[in-house]
Amino acid sequence: MRTFIAIDLAESLKRALESLAGELKPLTSSVRWVGPTGMHLTLKFLGEISEASAAQISSILEEVASRHQTFPLVLQGTGTFPPGGRQPRVLWVGVVPGPQLLSLQEDIEGEMEKLRFEREKRPFHPHLTLGRVKSPSRLDALVQEMEKHQEQHFGEMNVQKFLFFQSILKPTGAQYNVLKEFALR
């Protein structure tokens, strides 16, 4: 099964992101927009694993959760990958990289590395994907509109848990099933 570890967003934040996407959608048909069920902050993508691995990972994630307290998560700003907006492939809303978020992500990364999951080569850049560009043509108006929101505050929530997700790829998009929730202390 295809899996990842993430923080699910509060409904109020999902609505704020849907509102922004609603403003941007009319500007291009070249983007595949992320729906509300896909709006989560990925902490670690694991890829294909077995049922036995899932049980072992769940046990370790319980330990990780017990080491971390609840913390605020703040959504602010917009951008693209790659940066600069010339030929964007991903449109995103930023997440303020607070110390508690970074500590949790690093703890998960380190524990998964012990289980032989390769450490991410790029530094952790917390963000929420709004959409993925299908065709890089005629995106100027979209990029200009994204730039208007570079400093915008989209809301915040208190993170009380993170989740272990299974992702099932379908022609209509990914379907996400929660394998287990891990409460922070």
Six-digit token string for 111: 């524990």
- Let me know: does 23 contact 179? Beta carbons within 8 Å: no
Reported as half-sphere exposure (CB side, CA atoms, 13 A), residue 4 has a value of 16
153 in active site: no
Set 68, 127, 149, 153: catalytic member: 127
- Compute φ and ψ for 179, nearest 5 degrees: -80, -40
40 in active site: yes
Q: Which residues are catalytic?
A: 40, 127
